[in-house]
Structure 1
Amino acid sequence: MTSEVSEQIEQTAIREASPAASPSIWQELERWSGALADWQKLLIATAVRSGVIPDAIIEQAYRILLVEHALAPKPDIAFEIPSSMTGREKAGATRRRLHRIHTPIGVNRLPSTAELTFADGLTVIYGGNGVGKSGFARVLSNACFSRQRHPIYADVFDDAAPESSTALIDLVDEKGTISTVTVEVNSDHPELKRGFVVFDSAVAMRHLTDTGPFGFTPTGFDVFPEMARAYTALQAKLAADIQTKKRENALAKAFIGPETPASRAATALSQATDIDGLRTLAVFGADEQARIEQLQSQADQLRVLAPDATIKRLSDAKPQLVLLKQTLANARAALSEEKLETDTRLRQLLVAAASEFARAGAAQFQHDKIAGIGTPAWEHMIAGADELRPQQHEHYPAEGDVCLLCQQPLGEEARTLFGSYTAFSSGESKAALQAAERGVQDRRQQVEGISLTLTDEGSIAHNFLSETHPTILTAITDGAVAIRALQASVLAAFSGTGSVASVALADFSGALDGVIQTIEQDLLRLRQSDVPSAVAAIEKERVELRHREVLSQNLESAVSYVQDLQWIARAESKARPALNPRHLTEKQGELFSSVIAKNYREGLARECGALSCNVPVQLRTQGRQGQTLRSLSVADRSPEDILSEGEQRAVALADFLTEVGLNDDNVGIILDDPVTSLDHERKELIAKRLVAAAADRQVVVFTHDMVFFAKLADAADKAKAEITTHWMQRSGDNKPGQVSLNDGPTTTPQYRRTDFAEQTLAKAKAASGSAREAFVRQGASQLRRTVEEVIPQYLLKEVVRRWTDRVMVTALKKINWDNALADETIEIFEACSAIMEGHSHTEAGTEAPPTPDKLAELIARTKEVIRLAKVARA
């Protein structure tokens, strides 16, 4: 098996380390949130987008909670709830990739001209400490999805630096269309957050410490502990409001005297109190005040045994009130909606009968020399002739009779016409018209007969009600005005001079029945011989009225107290149970089982294997309120007791890559110095893993580690993958942010080909004189390094690797040793050494001056050595 085939198999295995995704956590959260209340949706949306739910959002969620449970009125402006809770409901919905980040304003000390571009696969940004990498990395960290936000400040050395920080990010879609978004660098961007995930040192610690001993929360599942925290805050708010509304009943000691319905209701106020019934008991106005005065007068009269005048007044008023009740009821019945509808039909019938009568006359007697046939004047003439006919003789008109009008003899034709007139006047159309007229006349007389004199000022009923029930009298007076207005409009409609007014007539029967019953009660008291009992009964009613007065004066306070009790009851029975976080724990466990558990275990094992995390990392689940259900442990011990810092970093990165593999929406990953505290061997494994990941998504790496940079280039070379590198340095005036695009330090993998020497050969051929000689010597130096790199890499099959003291003994079986190839390699090396600068040789020994042709020959020989050296032993 050749080394190239072996490398391809290894890269395929690494790529397959990412587990196949189960249903996305975002899809499951979106589905679950559909059945939740709006306040819960707001919390989920905020937790997903920001990681932390601010106090202002918790307060808004509390307002929504109160409204949903009828504990607060609906606002004039509806609460704004995101249509998508997560913004990630469609797997793979985000397909735009990073293209460029540029124009940073107020981002550390980065100049506004600084920019980075991103390849579709692997992009590596190399630079030492303090050159500005963190500025770009933090913009991406805050705009994309990251477990840890990093504050970004403007240039602290520049007093004129802008207060706000922004940057522009260009995104490119699958069609190559580029669009630009402005990023507020201290807030995330919805699309970037959905598609790009960040890993750095702070994120690594969050992976290791979020949920206790060596535990953390998978992406998406951190919604649950944050929601549980918000639930606790909401519970505290609800408890505080409940406590505020708890107080003693201020009316419990407000009533003097024996118990009455009003005092009993007021002192027994509870959440079950009927507020409408309470308002009925609290009715107290002019009528009730007048009643108290009447009762006082009656009691005084009974005490002096002189009630006769009151008895007479009550006796006179009662029949008048009974009559008034019947009069108003009759008037209301006569002007009811049914009657008014009948009136409409009567008017329509009259118009139709008159039209038919006129039509019949006009059709039968039409004559081209007589105008006005069928008109009322013509009808009157016919009617007059018909009335005069019987005065002539019984059989008028007979032969020999003359016309009543012109006194000329009537021929047979004229007598027949006169007979037709008589038949017309007494026919069906005439009868129908007369019947309609009688109906209208009868109804008119009925309406005209409505009399409301009993409501007039000066009547017995009016005077009595004025003294005893002024409120009822006012209502009856207003009602009489409405009746008279409706009466007038009905009569006007029958006369054809108006339309019927739309008036709703009040029914006073119940109110007058109450007044009549009170009269009967008073007469019974005043007429009985047991004066003390009568006075006691009067006093009881007076106390009831006084208690109603007290309740009326304190009604709003009583209603408020009852409403607060009802509020507390609803809060305790509805809102408080809704804040029980148990359903969070249950859903968290359910989603963990359906979305994470199996794939997470398998994926984490594969990732740990790919990164050589040879520690017994165990995945465990738990179900505690507000706690993450997933955690890692090492032999049931804390990581500080078991793992080194490097091992912890490797496990955190393995977990990060596992999460990325479970997220179908992920378009790219951004890593800021991911190999801190790691040895050379694990750096090499991580480099291979990231190159493999770049085959499926964008991978952006910021690093100051030259060894890691070289290993990334080496891994890309072996995988035949494209790699884009940028080099960040300080400028000539020692300011950070100078970016050299598509550039980077020279690395070992680049010297495993003859590219550098060939490029220098081209320059030598184009130059002349000493410049040509310098280029040839430079090319020889580059070619000698290529020979040095070929020996351990290809000829000796990496038995001994750079940057590590490990000896790959098993690689010995791949060595295909050839003495002739070794001799050729040595000859090329010595020839290059003889030409390059740095060694002093005689002109004859160096074949001075060195020529481009000699360099070209050595390059060709070196290519052949590389080709032969790559061949492994069969």
Structure 2
Amino acid sequence: MGAVDEILNWSATKLAPWRQDALRRLAGSSMLTMQDESELLDLIKDKVGFSMAAKPPTSTPLSKAHFASVSSGPPLQIKGIRNVKNVNRLVPAAALSFTPHGMTIVYGRNGSGKSGFVRIFRTACRTRTDNPAKLKVLADVYGSSGGPQEAEIIVDLGSGDVVVPWTAGAPASEILLQVAVFDSSAAQLYVDGGNQIQFLPFGLALPHKLNELCLTLRNKLEAERKPITDQIALVTVVFDTPRTTKAQTFYAGLTGKVTDVQIDTAATFSPKDEKRVDELTRLLAANTASAADATALSTWVKNLASECANLGQAFSDPQLDRYRALKQQAIDARTAAGTKAADLFSSEPLPGVGSETWRRLWLAAREYSITDAYAGREFPVVSTPDAIETCVLCQQPLSAEASDRMVRFQAFVNGSLAAAADQAETAVTQAITSLPQVEIFASKDWATRLEQIRKRNAELADTVTSFKKGVESRRATALALLQTSEAPPPPLAAASLVSPHGALQDLSAVLSAEAEALAKADQSGERAKLETERAELADRKILNAGRDHVIKRRDLLKEDALYTAALAEVQTRGITQKANELVDTHLTKIVTDHFEVERKTLEIAHLKVGLARKSGQTKAAFQTNPGTTLTKLTSEILSEGEQRALALAAFLTEIAVTEGAGPIVIDDPVSSLDRDRGLKVAARIAAEAQKRQVIVFTHDLIFFNDLCREADDLGVTTETIALFADGANAGKVDPAGVSWKGLSVTKRLARIRSDFAPLKKLHKSSPSDYEFEVKHLYGRLRDCYERLVEEHIFCDVVRRGVDRIETQKLRRVHLSDVLAIRFHVGMTKANTHSHDNPASETVSVPDPPAFELDLAYIEQLIADLRSESDSAERNRPSMKPK
């Protein structure tokens, strides 16, 4: 099964419809448009449930027809480069033209401007680089011109010239990615960085391109998803302590599928729960001492309840009315007694007898008499006929009249009205004495106890405080009513006095139960249960408080789940596995075998360096293997020449397995190579020029000649360009072409014919100038005869300036007598007309037809020498060992 059939079968059975559609689109273009990517993204979102206003187009599966639609026309050809601006020291509007079929060799000495053109190709075309910044193209750093670095690259895609604009730093045109560039920077990466085949044969490239598309779509999905994940990170409910409560377990398992009802159920928290949390907190914070404290507080509250009940009764409105009435009765009785006294004692010397003031005086006198003055004797003590007594008030002897007055006063005091008044006043005094004291309210620990009540029931604490104030106020009122000397005032409207004794009794019962619970909670097993209960309630309270956050987080998670599903659609594991499998089946052996062929061609097969496949998601790579565990860098093992040869082998392997036959640009391929390997590189490049357009830049004139000769031997069309620089600029093209010494015999003869063309007119207009010019051309013709010896008589076995002898070419060497004589004749004539002849003009100057015959003569001689060499090669017996 071929690669295309494998991909079709894999696509139909293993890939989702949108992936098949993506493959179909990729089959028609190596680069999808933003609209294509957007439509594919919509297909994914539609599949996983995103809400969209418009449905994406229906996907179309990949078929064999899509492969057939790929263009199979002629490869791209580079026609030239022109209008170069601000690139290095290149002359403004610098330009080069390249032969589209065959090989163009650009020769120039160091500093002639070759690198400027190569740098343009490096940034515009496909090249190996580990750092795109290294591809930077500078302007003339010592010049004054400004503006961007620009150029126009002229290409032909089979339907005429196309101008591809180039600007330094701008994205490269996809068209030029068919062109591969090799230079020193790329060579280093081929040696150490691996031969990464970035452009696979079309069928094998599709899975890698699909991976690349998936990664692009993944990046877009992740970019869309990021604001959601950022919000999820912010919209959180923070629990005080991480633990496995039902609330935390529910929150940890929160997904987009959780309903509002489930959230409400998990986050329910009532006032009763709040009260239970407080109770549990107290229980868990307690110990045996706390139980005793709760018991003591319960007893105190119980006592307070009893006192409040008593005080509420003692200072109730009816009781205050009783105190008022009691006082009023005492006042009324004393008033009645006073009125009687006024009637009885109106004739007494002093007024006011029987009044309250007088009564106090009388009682004081009585007390003095029976206690001190006349102890043991009944009051009043008065004079008798037998004895004269002393008055306890005036300390004078009592006369009969005074004694009678004392008796009458005592009779009044002992009378019914006075007795009634005394009894009423005694009742008032007893009432004052019996007024309850507010002892518990005045105790030292009152503030502490009240605060303890407040922590449990703030409302009750406020009620108790209000009751205390009411009791204190009413006691003062009662005392004032009983102690007033005037008629008590009528009752004023006052706040009712509500005793909190019932609520206090309830609290006392709760405290008693709490004390029992505290004592019980001190046991470890029971404590663990209480801690669990409190943790559940505390976390449920937090979840309840954060309910809005939970719902918002649920909504975000629901949306995020859609992105998770969409991202699962663009995972690349299966595609990568299939891509590697296809590469192994249809490419790996081809690459490694071709690499071995290239190594043998360049005579580096003895090196233990090989290639090992190391593919990624979007490319198939063949990593150079140094063949040792001591280093991972091949450059640390090989010499510079071996590195360059290895890099060329890797480069030629890459372009051999790359789809199409795009042009290649090579800069100084024989740098650091020895002479023998340089010849092999020349032969290999010339052979490659038979398959594709080749552009070579070199400063090595010997390599230039080798390359020209190899191309001529293979019949490859060769165009040569000579660059030079002056004090102002580089990149100037020498219109005369490459220097004379760098030309082969054939190119030299073409040059002579070109230079001779204008001399035909000069022969008629100025014979003297014609003689001067034609003498120079005969000297050039003599050079051709001399070079002919190397190239065609000795078949390049031995060449001047070359330190090697190609003995294998001796099989082609054969010079017959006829051709030897013809060579002698032609050489003699060239010598005759190029040397200085006598002034007697015994040697005539050849006219134009004669010169053209001499040119035709050497060209025919070359053709016959080649024919004779070919015949000698065919007729020699085999030299293989028997």
TM-score (norm 1): 0.53
Aligned residues of 1:172 and 1:179 also touching (Cα < 8 A): yes
Which segment is superposed worse, 587-596 or 113-122?
587-596
What residue is the counterpart of 1:173 in the other structure?
Answer: 157
Write out aligned runs for 1:195-274 (5 A). Answer: 195-210=178-193, 215-220=194-199, 245=233, 250-251=238-239, 265=247, 268-272=250-254, 274=258
Q: Per-residue deviation at 1:856?
A: 4.8
Question: Are 2:695 and 1:684 equivalent residues in the alignment?
Answer: no
> Is the contact between residue 727 and residue 739 of structure 1 (CA under 8 Å) also seen in structure 2?
yes
Q: Select the residue among 131, 135, 140 that pairs with 2:121.
A: 140
Q: Tell me by how many angstroms 1:586 deviates.
A: 3.2
Counterpart Cα distance in 2 of 1:110 and 1:818: 52
Is residue 735 of structure 1 aligned with residue 762 of structure 2?
no
- Distance in 2, Cα, partners of 1:32 & 1:585: 16
- What displacement does 1:651 show? 2.4
- How far does the alpha carbon of each residue in 1:663-691 deviate from its partner, in whole angstroms, 9 at most, with x for none? 23342112222222223443333333333
Q: Which residue of 1 aligns with 2:718?
A: 723
Q: Does the 8 Å CA contact 1:729/1:736 hold for their aligned counterparts?
A: yes
Instruction: Please state if 1:653 is matched with 2:637.
Output: no
Q: Distance in 2 between matches of 1:835 and 1:654?
A: 50
Where in structure 2 are the equivalents of 1:487-526 lying within 5 Å?
A: none
* CA distance 1:765–1:97, shift in 2 (3 Å): closer
In the alignment, what sits opposite 1:156? Answer: 141
Q: Deviations over 1:362-416 (max 9, x none)?
A: xxxxxxxxxxxxxxxxxxxxxxxxxxxxxxxxxxxxxxxxxxxxxxxxxxxxxxx
Q: Report the equivalent of 1:119.
A: 99
Letter in 2 for 1:661: A
Deviating more after overlay: 138-147 vs 562-571: 562-571
Aligned to 1:555: 547
Q: In the alignment, does 2:861 pair up with 1:865?
A: yes
The amino acid that maps onto 1:869 is: L
Q: In structure 1, what is the equivalent of residue 368 of structure 2?
A: none
- Distance in 2 separating the partners of 1:728 and 1:31: 57
Q: Deviations over 1:628-664 (max 9, x none)?
A: 7633446547644654322221222222122212223
| Alpha-carbon offset, residue 147 of structure 1 | 1.6
Whether the 8 Å CA contact 1:108–1:154 is kept in 2: the answer is yes
What is the match of residue 99 of structure 1?
Answer: 79
CA distance in 2, matches of 1:24, 1:35: 18
CA deviation string 1:32-76 (max 9, x = no partner): 9986999x999x99xx999xxxxxxxxx9xx99998998999999
Encode CA deviations 1:96-126: one digit per residue, 9 max, x unaligned.
Answer: 4322322233333334422222321222222
DSSP 3-state at the match of 1:657:
helix
**Alpha-carbon separation, structure 1, partners of 2:184 and 2:11:** 31
Residue 744 (str. 1) matches residue 733 (str. 2):
no
Structure 1 equivalent of residue 110 of structure 2: 129
Tell me, in whole angstroms, the C-alpha distance in 2 between the residues paired with 1:99 and 1:158: 29
Whole-angstrom CA distance in 1 between matches of 2:608 and 2:70: 32
Contact kept? 1:780, 1:836, Cα under 8 Å: yes
Q: 1:785 corresponds to which residue?
A: 783
Shift of 1:695: 3.2
Q: What letter corresponds to residue 780 of structure 1 in structure 2?
A: Y
Letter in 1 for 2:689: A
Cα distance, 1:76–1:269 mapped onto 2, change above 3 Å: farther
Matches within 5 A, 1:539-618: 553-559=545-551, 586-587=577-578, 589-616=580-607
1:814 equivalent in structure 2 = 812
- Structure 1 residue 593 displacement after superposition: 1.0
113-122 or 243-252: bigger deviation = 243-252
The answer on whether the counterparts of 2:612 and 2:623 sit within 8 Å (CA) in structure 1 is yes
Partner of 1:631: 623
Aligned partners of 1:605, 1:236: CA distance in 2, in Å? Answer: 44
- Verify the 8 A CA contact 1:91 1:665 in the aligned structure 2: no
Quote the Cα distance in structure 1 between the aligned partners of 2:118 and 2:55: 40
Comparing 747-756 and 774-783, the one that deviates more? 747-756
The DSSP-based 3-state class of the residue aligned with 1:182 is strand
Taking a change above 3 Å as real, the CA distance of residues 28 and 94 of structure 1, as seen in their structure-2 partners, is farther
Aligned letter for 2:743? T
Residue-pair matches, total: 564
- Structure 1 distance, partners of 2:736, 2:767, is 32
1:338 maps to what in 2? none
Please tell me the residue identity of whatever aligns with 2:198: T
Question: In the superposition, relative to structure 1, how do residues 659 and 867 fare at CA in structure 2: closer, same or farther (>3 Å)?
Answer: same
Q: Tell me how far apart the structure 2 counterparts of residues 547 and 752 of structure 1 sit (CA, whole Å).
A: 95
* Distance apart, 1:138 and its partner CA: 1.9
**Cross-structure match for 1:349:** none
**Cα distance, 1:788 vs structure 2:** 0.8
Q: Which residue of 1 aligns with 2:659?
A: 664
- Where 1:130 maps in the other structure, the secondary structure is coil
Q: AA paired with 1:813?
A: R
Cα distance change of structure 1 residues 807 and 611 upon mapping to structure 2, 3 Å threshold: same
The CA distance in 1 between the partners of 2:242 and 2:853, in whole Å, is 117
Q: Deviations over 1:481-524 (max 9, x none)?
A: xxxxxxxxxxxxxxxxxxxxxxxxxxxxxxxxxxxxxxxxxxxx
Question: How far apart are residue 142 of structure 1 and its match?
Answer: 1.4
Structure 1 residues 160 and 73: CA distance shift in structure 2, 3 A: farther
| Alpha-carbon distance between aligned partners in 2 of 1:770 and 1:105, rounded to the nearest angstrom | 46
In the alignment, which residue of structure 2 is the partner of 1:698?
693
Which amino acid is the alignment partner of residue 161 of structure 1?
G
Partner Cα separation in structure 2 for residue 577 and residue 69 of structure 1: 9
Unaligned runs of 5+ in 2: 32-37, 275-509, 511-535, 876-882
Question: How far did 1:709 drift?
Answer: 2.3
2:155 is paired with a residue whose SS is strand
Is 1:796–2:778 an aligned residue pair?
no
The structural deviation recorded for 1:784 is 0.8
- Provide the identity percentage: 23
Find the aligned partners of 1:34 and 1:672 in 2 and give their Cα distance: 44
Distance across 2 between alignment mates of 1:123 and 1:25: 41
The answer (yes or no) to whether the contact 2:745–2:787 under 8 Å persists in 1 is no
Are residues 264 and 752 of structure 1, via their aligned partners in 2, closer, same or farther at CA, if it must alter by over 3 Å?
A: closer
Q: Which amino acid aligns with 1:125?
A: V
Alpha-carbon contact 2:114-2:697 (below 8 Å) kept: yes
TM-score, normalising length: structure 2 = 0.52
- Closer/same/farther in 2, CA of residues 111 and 22 from structure 1, 3 Å limit: farther
Decide whether aligned partners of structure 1 residues 551 and 798 sit closer, same or farther in structure 2, where only a CA change above 3 A counts. closer
CA separation in 2, counterparts of 1:546 and 1:755? 102
1:723 Cα deviation after fit: 2.0
For 1:371-520, list aligned pairs within 5 A: none
Contact 2:106 2:696 in 1 (8 A): yes
CA displacement at 1:707 relative to structure 2: 2.1
Amino acid of the structure 1 residue aligned with 2:580 = G
Counterparts of 2:813 and 2:714, CA distance in 1: 21
Measure, in 2, the Cα distance between the counterparts of 1:671 and 1:115. Answer: 18
Distance 1:155 1:570, change over 3 A: same
Question: C-alpha separation between the residues in 2 aligned to 1:28 and 1:687?
Answer: 45
Match of 1:342 in 2: none
Cα pair distance change 1:77/1:742, threshold 3 Å: farther
**Contact 1:102-1:112 within 8 A present in 2 as well:** no
Asked if the contact 2:266–2:540 (Cα under 8 Å) also holds between the matched residues in 1, the reply is: yes
